[in-house]
């Protein structure tokens, strides 16, 4: 198994859709308990059929944790996570931002548009 962390988001790569419980626990931080999969104070119910002896069915784990599971048959890998329920934006309020006005040379405050719908377009050459 390979783990990749992008910021706070964790993606795990597996070579099989069924993994050892200890391997999954070590990589994900989730622990199998009687209540289901638990991490810190949070427990998520897990179907009994998800456990196969000392292994976990990744498809059932993915469904319970709301994590996407993607299979690439060409390289025989399964990618799990990060949770789809997490929002990319923590709030819909834009930060206070001051931009230079390219025409007049004055500063433009984004906050002056508060309460209005705004579309920001960004471009980079790379």
> Which comes out higher in pLDDT, residue 21 or 125?
21
Report the greatest alpha carbon distance in the chain. 70
**What is the pTM assigned to this prediction?**
0.61
Q: Convert the pLDDT of each residue in 38-84 to its tens digit.
A: 988 889 999 999 999 999 999 999 999 888 899 988 888 898 887 76
Bridge partner residues of 81 (DSSP): none
Cis (ω within 30 of 0) for the bond into 82? Answer: yes
Question: Rounded to the nearest 5 degrees, what angle is found at the Cα of 106, between the Cα atoms of 100 and 109?
Answer: 60
Bridge partner residues of 9 (DSSP): 6
> Which comes out higher in pLDDT, residue 105 or 16?
16
Bridge partner residues of 98 (DSSP): 109
Q: Is 92 exposed, middle or buried (0-12, 13-18, 19+ CB in 10 A)?
A: exposed
């Amino acid at each position: 198994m390979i783990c990749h962390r992008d910021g706070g988001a964790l993606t795990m790569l597996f070579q099989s859709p069924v993994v050892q419980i200890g391997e999954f626990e070590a990589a994900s931080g989730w622990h199998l308990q009687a209540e289901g999969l638990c991490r810190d104070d949070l427990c998520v119910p897990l179907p009994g059929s998800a456990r196969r002896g000392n292994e976990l069915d990744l498809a059932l784990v993915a469904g319970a944790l709301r994590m996407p599971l993607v299979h690439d048959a060409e390289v025989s890998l399964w990618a799990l996570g990060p949770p789809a329920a997490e929002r990319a934006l923590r709030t819909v309020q834009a930060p206070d931002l001051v931009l230079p006005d390219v025409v007049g040379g004055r500063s433009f405050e984004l906050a002056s548009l508060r309460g209005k719908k705004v579309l920001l377009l960004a471009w980079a050459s790379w």
